[in-house]
Structure 1
Amino acid sequence: MSDADAGTYVEAGEFRRDTNYITTRITADGRDGYPVEPGRYRLVAARACPWANRTLIVRRLLGLEPVLSLGLCGPTHDKLSWTFDLDPGEVDPVLGIHRLRDAYLARFPDYPRGITVPAVVDIPTGQVVTNDYAQITLDFSTEWTAYHRPGAPQLYPEPLRDHIDEINAEVFREVNNGVYRCGFAGAQDAYDAAYTRLFAALDRLTERLSTQRYLVGDTITEADVRLFTTLARFDPVYHGHFKTNRSKLSEMPVLWAYARDLFQTPGFGDTIDFGQIKEHYYVVHRDINPTGIIPAGPDLSNWLTPHHREELGGRPFGDGTPPPPPLPAEQVPAIP
């Protein structure tokens, strides 16, 4: 990617994320004009992106693969759009487009915001339905229940929703977005403040997870999915690239064990492609890494070491069961 094609990410002062997304929802009753229908929609994601990674995990855990197809963009993109670089001819075989931007413009010809993943596209019209990543996974859990696999876990159980929402709000504000607040800070004081906030939040999470296996209750929930995708990227990219370097994840024993526990749980680690993750951040963010050089390290084999979190109890899938192995076309490279 040339510098001319790259976007700009560092902001003067503090980084502020645009959180205005397409809020149309796909629901069981179709109240927004898009009813849940098997085969009608295509989830467009990228393994590099932590926000999209959530949808890959939840789709796997709930067993929605037979009813919701998956289009995967490549790990890099230019300032215009994510692109389907991994497909033959660099064209998505179902949507027939090279740029995800085309699906956005098909519905909103003057779409003024960034072209983001994940996005759900209506296959018959080729139009984007939603890119509201936080709502997409909640709707997978609550609106697509007729198509959940037998044994699908309860990721957003009604009795715990208020608690999950509370944890999710803090994790988004301080951790998911906190690493970006560090990485995209354009002034020393903004970076210093972001760094302090991030590690204060990680310390609070350490305290919480030192006595319980999962964030809310004794099973995996939506809250764990949202924290995991940031932790999985911490040592490969955030620690160096985003300067979140008080300590590596692997030097924070509680969070490191928690992350490995999830990584080794079917549906989590089998959605992670560390190669694509590193390529995305180090190549796309040329205003942070002008050379585009991708670091060789770190050693990732330690993700497979024992974590001993089962000693805290808990049942990963509650009364449910693990998902089956990924579809052959959706497998990720094994850790060397």
Structure 2
Amino acid sequence: MGETKKEVPVEVDEKGRFIRQKNQFATLFGDKPGELPVEAGRYRLLWSPVCPWAHRSVIVRSVLGLEDVISLGTASPMRPNIPRVDWEFSTDENGVDPVLGIQYISEVYKKADPDYEGRPTVPVIVDVKEQKAVNNDYFRLTNHLETAWAPFHKENAPDLYPEHLREEIDALSDVIFHEVNNGVYKCGFARSQEAYEEAYDILFDRLDALEQRLSTQRFLFGDYITDSDVRLYATLARFDVAYYSAFKTNRNLIVDFQNLWGYLRDLYQTPGFGDTTNFEAIKIHYHLSNHIASDDQKGRNILPKGPDVSIFTTPHNREALSNKEEKFLIHK
């Protein structure tokens, strides 16, 4: 059976630059009028382990101990062969999410807005009672989990978003988003040589700067892991297994950077990071099932055999840069 032609929303400007669509559902969590109530068991986080935006929410959910408070639904790494971009629950029994009973993630978007025309994205928080999308603001979702959901954090949960550092964390996270997180997509989805090379140069200039920053400190803000580290990790973990070849970000592999590579292994070996990282799913999606890029940009039907991901568990020696044994700043 042939590949079904996808109706792909246009996310490219006149110069061939990739322009990511905006999030439609960004209501805050809280107890003020109009905010989403913070209630255990009310929401389900839908994700796919292939998606870096979704992955960072799952990392924070794990690190803060929210697994029994916000349930998790997992979509397949393979896009469905239907005439639109979507995510499906084909790896679940009977091909539907066991809690929401839906086949496609677009169903919760249409339930929230029957006129929704964008790509149904992950992560998305779904109100289980109403079975509709209530928040798909991937940029701020980890911050919501770190702040508004504090009443449900596990005992001695770490502080990934310390109040005295929030302005600095937000500033660095904004740079990481534009130049690294979304930077790899700007390379991979560019529709002109000019746009690709512009994004490529910005990406590696920033990676070089981060390599230097991490030469004298264990994490981006010193001795402890913060929200910014979660955001950078999600891209670095996918870089060598997917972006380097699929998105043509091929000046260097992350293993070629002494400090970034050690930093990545340090995070991977931290509970909540490596144990939520599915390299096989990532490879399947980016090499076999990515429907945002045009057909001529996709290496279809051949799944790369490498790289060897067992090296993620090798010693990193990053603890030599820190006087602290604990990687997390614990709430006191």
Cα displacement (A) at 1:229: 0.3
Contact 1:171 / 1:227 at 8 angstroms: preserved in 2? yes
Q: What letter matches 1:159 in structure 2?
A: H
User: Any idea what SS the aligned residue of 1:128 has?
Assistant: strand
1:128/1:302 CA distance change after superposition, 3 Å: same
CA distance in 1, matches of 2:228, 2:119: 26
* Residues 1:299 and 2:308 aligned together: yes
Which residue of 2 is the match for residue 199 of structure 1?
Answer: 204
Cα displacement (A) at 1:151: 1.6
Contact 1:6 / 1:284 at 8 angstroms: preserved in 2? no
Which residue of 2 is the match for residue 3 of structure 1?
Answer: 3
User: Any idea what SS the aligned residue of 2:61 has?
Assistant: helix
Contact 1:263 / 1:303 at 8 angstroms: preserved in 2? yes
CA distance in 1, matches of 2:96, 2:28: 26
- Cα deviations across residues 3-53 of structure 1 (Å, max 9, x unaligned)? 3254658956111111333111222x1532420011010011110100000
Q: What letter matches 1:247 in structure 2?
A: N
Q: What letter matches 1:14 in structure 2?
A: R
| TM-score with structure 2 setting the length | 0.92
User: Any idea what SS the aligned residue of 2:111 has?
Assistant: helix
The alignment yields a C-alpha RMSD, in angstroms, of 1.8
Cα displacement (A) at 1:284: 1.9
Cα displacement (A) at 1:170: 0.5
Which residue of 2 is the match for residue 97 of structure 1?
Answer: 102
Which residue of 2 is the match for residue 44 of structure 1?
Answer: 46
CA distance in 1, matches of 2:87, 2:221: 34
| Over 6 Å off, 4+ runs | none
> Could you list the runs of 5+ residues in structure 2 that have no partner in the other structure?
none
Q: What letter matches 2:163 in structure 1?
A: E
CA distance in 2, matches of 1:317, 1:7: 44
CA distance in 1, matches of 2:116, 2:262: 42
- Cα deviations across residues 157-216 of structure 1 (Å, max 9, x unaligned)? 100000100110000010001101111111111111111111000001011111011112
Which residue of 1 is the match for residue 61 of structure 2?
Answer: 59
Identity between Structure 1 and Structure 2 (%): 47
CA distance in 1, matches of 2:250, 2:284: 20
Which residue of 2 is the match for residue 143 of structure 1?
Answer: 148
CA distance in 2, matches of 1:111, 1:38: 28
Contact 1:84 / 1:98 at 8 angstroms: preserved in 2? yes
Contact 2:161 / 2:226 at 8 angstroms: preserved in 1? yes
Which residue of 2 is the match for residue 20 of structure 1?
Answer: 23
1:290/1:252 CA distance change after superposition, 3 Å: closer
Q: What letter matches 2:55 in structure 1?
A: N
CA distance in 2, matches of 1:277, 1:214: 25
Which of 158, 161, 169 aligns to 1:156? It is: 161
State the number of aligned residues: 320
Q: What letter matches 2:20 in structure 1?
A: R
Which of 59, 68, 71 aligns to 1:69? It is: 71
> Could you list the runs of 5+ residues in structure 1 that have no partner in the other structure?
322-336
Q: What letter matches 2:98 in structure 1?
A: P
CA distance in 1, matches of 2:106, 2:281: 21
| TM-score with structure 1 setting the length | 0.91
Larger mean CA deviation between 38-47 and 76-85 belongs to: 76-85
* Residues 1:266 and 2:271 aligned together: yes
CA distance in 2, matches of 1:39, 1:292: 40
Contact 1:40 / 1:123 at 8 angstroms: preserved in 2? yes
Which of 219, 228, 236 aligns to 2:233? It is: 228
Q: What letter matches 1:289 in structure 2?
A: K
CA distance in 2, matches of 1:24, 1:76: 29
